[in-house]
Chain A
Amino acid sequence: MYSPLNNPSAAVQQVTQQLTAAQAGSGPDGLVLATPDHTLFNRVDIPERLQDKLFAIRMLKAIPLSYMVPDAALLPPESIRFFYVDQTWVDRVIDGTLSAANAGSVDVAFSCGLNQLIRQNLDAQMGKAADTAVNLASDGKVPLANWSPDTHPMTGMLIRSDIVRRWPQMSVRAYTTAQPTWAPIGVLRAEAISTGIYIALFAGVPGLVQVGEPHVGVRFGVEALDPTKPEAGAYKVDLRDATGKEVVNTKVQIPLRAPAGQRVLQVNAFAASTVAAINTSKQGPAASATGRVVAIELARQPWVQDFVNAAGITEADGIHSSCDAAGKPIKVTLANGRTLSSISRLAAQQTRKP
């Protein structure tokens, strides 16, 4: 492409000097220039539109998915993958973009200083975005970490699953430790990038990532009485006392009005049995059958799934066979006492002969 830039006969003397100072040479990344601290300019003036586009590259927004995931097997259906971001690779994309306006050796020599300023400019913008995210997550209660993509790692996660299609508004939070304390890590980006793929970028290495069901406000509902037979049409709720605190290991069955096929709750009978159960448990204040108690019992919290990165957790914990040695589905109990409903289907798929 360019004739050798460090050959004095190829360019004017000034360019040669410039390149000598910039230590031009071919390294593992191609022909590279390591510019010394540039004192010619104090700052660089970039049109806002261009700045936005370069920032989009830094946030991987402008990188086609096939460049990030070069093989479909790296992100199979129904999978979650955590990664580090290689800033050098992303820098190369910016270098390429900026090189489109260079016409020759003189341009190259002079634009190197500008490129460095542009890189610093984008780094600062990324750091500011991280600060904003931390402030948002902690309500301004946490001192900022002064994260910079230049010196600190940037990580992220990819989700390819039906949950992205069904809950594209799900929330992602990240924390430095495995316990959710007020030590959030800035979530630089968390959005669906296609119908089935979701990306999140973190300003740091999280010890805990929480993926939350979208908060659609409070919801009311019930749970199957027999988790293995959700289709039976019998339901329960886990008992909460009058203050909303769960009464451990106590459930209240939901009486249904006849005919049961209409699935109409017998609310008055339910309220009566709930109040009796609360008062029997002697937990919290005494309750009476009112709209408040019914609301507390039927309220369902959005589910928050933790992903923990801590000592003692190995890579193999992230995946498990859905059937035992005999090919029978294993039993997976969820936190709320329910059984994973899709495990039989998964086991059947796994044991299916090709």
Chain B
Amino acid sequence: MNDTTVQVFDSFQPIKKAGETISLQVGQTLGSSANGADLVATSGTDTVYLQVDGPRLTLPPDLLSGTYPAEGSQDSPDEFLPHIAIDRRTLAWERPGPTPTSPWLAVLLVKESEWRGDSQPILHLSASELSNVLVAEAAAPAGIKLAPQPPSKPPVLKPEVLTATLRPASLDTATVVLGGPQLTMRPSLADQVPGATLQSLTIAQIKAHDALAYTQLTDAQKGCGLDPATTVNVMFVPNDVLTQILPAVDELPLLCHVKLGSNDSETLIVVGNRLPNSTLAGGANQPEKHTALLVSLERRSDLYGAGNTRKGSAPAALVVLYKWTFTPSTGADFADAIQAIRYTPNGGVLRFGSRVTVPAPGAAGIATMLAPDGFLSTPLPLAPVGQANYRGPLRPYQAPDRANTFAVSAAPQELLNAKPGDPPDYSHATAFELGRLIAVSDSGIMEDLKAVHGVLDLPKGFVATSVIPPALQKKDWGVDPAAHNWSENPWSGTVGDFSQRATADFSGVSSQIAATGPWQAQIGAAYQGQQIQTVGASLGQIATATISAETLEIQLAEVFNAAH
């Protein structure tokens, strides 16, 4: 069913990388005439310089298309790699990476425990830092001089100095086992610089923790050439962890690609190179939290090979453009989970109403405890003890044809006609009562029920007609109809003059009457016999020979009112 085509591209290289400069010089030549000379040859005097810019230290929110797993997700199986989708197809190639041709973006995945060191407290202290440490008893580890205290006792560490390094149990007992050939001492990164949280630091502040990074970020020739006062979002990853998880330089281009979706959206996708680990470590009841980082590797050759001279677990500063955390899931993935439903003691994929009795091992049977008509028989808990039938709106087989009826009461009349011994069927009575309960529990429904009403659509196609008889249909009585032959063209003439005339031409009325016949009868016909005799008599009182159009209108109304 997958009819959408997705195109995948290796890369989209911008013509000019971010930070590079383009110079433009404008000129125009118009040529040429018959003798070969240009008609016009001109050039601009100034060169225009354009600096190409782009996201560098943060990912603008409008460019973020999405991350997988989602922030805070707890159910991504540990067989899926984290990735980030960015709505800017060229972004990964806009700046040089550790080498001039490699992408500068990568997704790293760091486990929570890796920020803090191992579960054993590990300390790495310089001699000067050790001056803060109270030495209690026993021997100091080989290779570390505990001056000025005598190296005869294990150090008791000040909790306020090293709380983040040591597990609470260790702090409570205030004894730290030092020694052993492989055990090095270090103050936790979280104590020095809390690596597990995203920090906003100036590049100058980074120098105290990671001088290599500082040099690389500020060096104008070999590095990024950033101002030391620039604020960046930075996280510190222990160098020994970083070297294990950082993609190799030749892997960076393999982890970036551009997807052209069916709706012409072009998305840059940067995939992580590390699978999350959902193993439950040491009695934990859920897997470790993982942090995924979109980091900038712009000119960060200090993180690779011989350039990386950081020792052991020294912090390596990474400029973080985006960060999200999630907890991988130990659970089965979707395919596993949905297919497992079929297998007992899970409930199976069945017709509604089938009730499962767990079959004997090896058997594949089911037992239906529902009647074929969909009734569930349940013992009535009330006295007298008996059975009642009930079925809801869901039925195992096709329901009988819909009843063309309306219930008007919940009184279970159906129970009256039931055969003796049949369990009463409460199905529809229950449904009816449920409807009433829905209504009475909601004042809005009660209110709206009042407003329900039938609507009679008015018949269409009628045309409004005048009831004024033709004898009186003349707007402008000021014009003699006879003179204008108006009976053939009744609405011509000086329409509009009528209202402005104080008096009108009486002859117009009489001519009209003469032309159209007995007007009283016409009025009578127009009013369909309503009190026609009276009207006729009253109309006779109007002196048509002397009346004006204006007064005729008034008098006619009076006559009508009198007649009624």
Q: Which residues of A contact B451 (CB under 8 A)?
A: 45-47, 50
Q: Which residues of B contact A290 (CB under 8 A)?
A: 10, 253-254
Q: Which residues of A contact B68 (CB under 8 A)?
A: 216-217, 219-220
Q: Are A264 and B245 in contact (CB under 8 A)?
A: yes
B244, closest chain A residue (CB): A262
A-B contact count (CB 8 A): 479
Name the one of A28, A264, A292, A315 contacting B354, with C-beta atoms under 8 angstroms: A315
A114, closest chain B residue (CB): B454
Name the one of B329, B350, B414 contacting A29, with C-beta atoms under 8 angstroms: B414
Q: Are B376 and A70 in contact (CB under 8 A)?
A: yes
- Asked whether A166 is an interface residue with its Cβ less than 8 Å from the other chain, the reply is yes
- Count the A residues whose beta carbon is within 8 Å of the partner chain — how many? 154
A344 nearest CB across to chain B (Å): 11
- Asked whether B1 is an interface residue with its Cβ less than 8 Å from the other chain, the reply is yes
| 10 residue pairs bridging A and B, Cβ less than 8 Å apart | A69-B394, A71-B376, A84-B396, A88-B399, A100-B439, A217-B85, A263-B275, A341-B336, A346-B344, A351-B361
- Asked whether A321 is an interface residue with its Cβ less than 8 Å from the other chain, the reply is yes
Query: Would you list which residues of chain A between 147 and 202 have a CB under 8 Å from chain B?
Result: 149-150, 153, 156, 158, 160-163, 166-167, 170, 173, 180
Name the one of B343, B391, B409, B452 contacting A340, with C-beta atoms under 8 angstroms: B343
Contact A163:B337 (CB < 8 A) given known A93-B431, A100-B440, A316-B366? yes
Q: Are B335 and A224 in contact (CB under 8 A)?
A: no
Q: Are B364 and A320 in contact (CB under 8 A)?
A: yes
Question: Residues 1-38 of chain A: 1 if any B CB is under 8 Å from the residue's CB, otherwise 0?
Answer: 11001000000000000000000001111111111000
Name the one of B329, B409, B448 contacting A2, with C-beta atoms under 8 angstroms: B409
Query: Would you list which residues of chain B between 354 and 406 have a CB under 8 Å from chain A?
Result: 354-356, 358-366, 369-370, 374, 376, 378, 390-400, 402-406
- Asked whether B429 is an interface residue with its Cβ less than 8 Å from the other chain, the reply is yes
A102, closest chain B residue (CB): B408
Q: Are A167 and B254 in contact (CB under 8 A)?
A: no
- Asked whether A106 is an interface residue with its Cβ less than 8 Å from the other chain, the reply is no
CB-based closest 8 A-B pairs = A79-B347, A96-B435, A319-B348, A41-B454, A325-B362, A100-B439, A50-B448, A83-B352
- Asked whether B338 is an interface residue with its Cβ less than 8 Å from the other chain, the reply is yes
Q: Are B345 and A350 in contact (CB under 8 A)?
A: yes
Q: Are A320 and B344 in contact (CB under 8 A)?
A: yes
Contact A319:B349 (CB < 8 A) given known A68-B394, A267-B273? yes
7 additional A-B pairs beyond A43-B454, A86-B395, beta carbons within 8 Å, are A77-B347, A85-B393, A89-B431, A222-B275, A264-B275, A305-B335, A326-B361
B65, closest chain A residue (CB): A217
Query: Would you list which residues of chain A between 50 and 81 have a CB under 8 Å from chain B?
Result: 50, 53, 57, 60, 62-64, 67-71, 73-81
Alpha-carbon distance between A170 and B75 when the two chains are bound, in angstroms: 14
B77 nearest CB across to chain A (Å): 7
Q: Which residues of A contact B444 (CB under 8 A)?
A: 49-50, 53
Pick from A115-123, A125-133, A277-285 the stretch touching chain B. A115-123
Contact A296:B348 (CB < 8 A) given known A34-B405, A47-B451? no
Q: Are A47 and B448 in contact (CB under 8 A)?
A: yes
Alpha-carbon distance between A106 and B374 when the two chains are bound, in angstroms: 37
Q: Which residues of A contact B405 (CB under 8 A)?
A: 27, 29, 32-34
A180, closest chain B residue (CB): B1
Contact A74:B352 (CB < 8 A) given known A27-B405, A262-B244, A294-B254? yes
B9 nearest CB across to chain A (Å): 6
Q: Are B366 and A117 in contact (CB under 8 A)?
A: no
- Asked whether A310 is an interface residue with its Cβ less than 8 Å from the other chain, the reply is no
Alpha-carbon distance between A86 and B399 when the two chains are bound, in angstroms: 5
Pick from B255-263, B296-304, B497-505 the stretch touching chain A. B255-263
Question: Residues 215-239 of chain A: 1 if any B CB is under 8 Å from the residue's CB, otherwise 0?
Answer: 0111111111000001100010000
Alpha-carbon distance between A94 and B450 when the two chains are bound, in angstroms: 16
Query: Would you list which residues of chain B between 423 and 459 have a CB under 8 Å from chain A?
Result: 425, 427-440, 442, 444-446, 448-457
Q: Which residues of A contact B456 (CB under 8 A)?
A: 40-42
Q: Which residues of A contact B350 (CB under 8 A)?
A: 79-82, 315, 318-319
A19, closest chain B residue (CB): B408
Question: Residues 443-486 of chain B: 1 if any A CB is under 8 Å from the residue's CB, otherwise 0?
Answer: 01110111111111100000000000000000000000000000
Q: Which residues of A contact B433 (CB under 8 A)?
A: 96
- Asked whether A257 is an interface residue with its Cβ less than 8 Å from the other chain, the reply is yes
- Asked whether A97 is an interface residue with its Cβ less than 8 Å from the other chain, the reply is yes
A100 nearest CB across to chain B (Å): 4
Name the one of B366, B408, B448 contacting A31, with C-beta atoms under 8 angstroms: B408
Q: Are B435 and A67 in contact (CB under 8 A)?
A: no
Q: Are B356 and A319 in contact (CB under 8 A)?
A: yes
Name the one of B331, B355, B407 contacting A95, with C-beta atoms under 8 angstroms: B407
Question: Residues 44-61 of chain B: 1 if any A CB is under 8 Å from the residue's CB, otherwise 0?
Answer: 000000000000000000
B276, closest chain A residue (CB): A263
A106 nearest CB across to chain B (Å): 12
- Asked whether B340 is an interface residue with its Cβ less than 8 Å from the other chain, the reply is yes
Name the one of B416, B429, B452 contacting A46, with C-beta atoms under 8 angstroms: B452
Taking beta carbons and an 8 Å cutoff, which residues of B are in contact with A? Answer: 1-2, 6, 8-11, 66, 68, 70, 75, 77, 79-81, 83, 85, 244-245, 247-248, 250-251, 253-257, 259, 269, 271, 273-277, 279, 329, 331-356, 358-366, 369-370, 374, 376, 378, 390-400, 402-414, 416-417, 425, 427-440, 442, 444-446, 448-457
Q: Are B392 and A68 in contact (CB under 8 A)?
A: yes
A62, closest chain B residue (CB): B438
Alpha-carbon distance between A116 and B390 when the two chains are bound, in angstroms: 26
- Asked whether A145 is an interface residue with its Cβ less than 8 Å from the other chain, the reply is no
Q: Are B345 and A349 in contact (CB under 8 A)?
A: yes
B396, closest chain A residue (CB): A83
B253 nearest CB across to chain A (Å): 6
Contact A2:B390 (CB < 8 A) given known A41-B456, A45-B454? no
Contact A324:B427 (CB < 8 A) given known A81-B351, A295-B257? no
Q: Which residues of A contact B344 (CB under 8 A)?
A: 319-322, 346, 350
Q: Are B257 and A291 in contact (CB under 8 A)?
A: yes
Q: Are B416 and A26 in contact (CB under 8 A)?
A: yes
Q: Which residues of A contact B361 (CB under 8 A)?
A: 321, 323-327, 350-351
Q: Are A259 and B438 in contact (CB under 8 A)?
A: no
Name the one of B256, B391, B408 contacting A32, with C-beta atoms under 8 angstroms: B408
Q: Are A289 and B358 in contact (CB under 8 A)?
A: no
Alpha-carbon distance between A50 and B438 when the two chains are bound, in angstroms: 12
Q: Are B392 and A80 in contact (CB under 8 A)?
A: no
Q: Are A85 and B399 in contact (CB under 8 A)?
A: yes
Q: Are A340 and B340 in contact (CB under 8 A)?
A: yes
Q: Are B79 and A221 in contact (CB under 8 A)?
A: yes
Contact A166:B346 (CB < 8 A) given known A34-B404, A88-B403, A93-B434? no
Q: Are B337 and A222 in contact (CB under 8 A)?
A: no
- Asked whether A334 is an interface residue with its Cβ less than 8 Å from the other chain, the reply is yes
